[in-house]
Amino acid sequence: MKLSAEVFKHLKNKNLTLLGMSGVGKTHLAKLLSGKGKWFHYSGDYRIGAKYLNDDILSSVKQKNQTRDRLVDGITGQSVHQPSISRNF
């Protein structure tokens, strides 16, 4: 749907989607708009990353640290059952 700037300006409710490569200024523009009136900024990149990558990232970090003896018990939860380990950790 194409709208002229004049028609968009007079709409009661406005929605705007910004798409572009990294570094082109999407977040900068969104912050400028949200600072002027009732604009709301929703970052889809952050939400996608948090929802779909969080478990993979944590799993990868835990897996790499399993090779370190002092971290193994802390990661697997053994330090809760053996207070001496958590004090040394």
Report the pLDDT value the prediction gives residue 76, as an integer from 0 to 100. 66
Report the pLDDT value the prediction gives residue 89, as an integer from 0 to 100. 47
CB contact burial 26-62 (16+ within 10 A = b; e otherwise): beeebeebeeeeeeeeeeeeeeeeeeeeeeeeeeeee
Is a pLDDT exceeding 90 seen at residue 6? yes
Residue 80 lies in a domain: no
What is the pLDDT confidence band of residue 22, given thresholds at 50, 70 and 90?
confident
Residue 11 lies in a domain: no
Is a pLDDT exceeding 80 seen at residue 12? yes
Residue 51 lies in a domain: yes
Residue 88 lies in a domain: no
Residue 69 lies in a domain: yes
Residue 18 lies in a domain: no
Residue 64 lies in a domain: yes
Whole domain around residue 51: which residue ranges?
A: 43-73
Q: Please state, rounded to an integer, the average pLDDT across all residues of the chain.
A: 75
Q: How many structural domains compose the chain?
A: 1
29-60 pLDDT, tens digit per residue, is 888 888 777 777 777 776 676 777 777 877 88
Residue 61 lies in a domain: yes
54-80 pLDDT, tens digit per residue, is 778 778 877 777 666 666 666 666 555
Tell me the two tokens of residue 85: 């380990």
Q: How many CA atoms lie within 13 A of 57 on its CB side?
A: 6
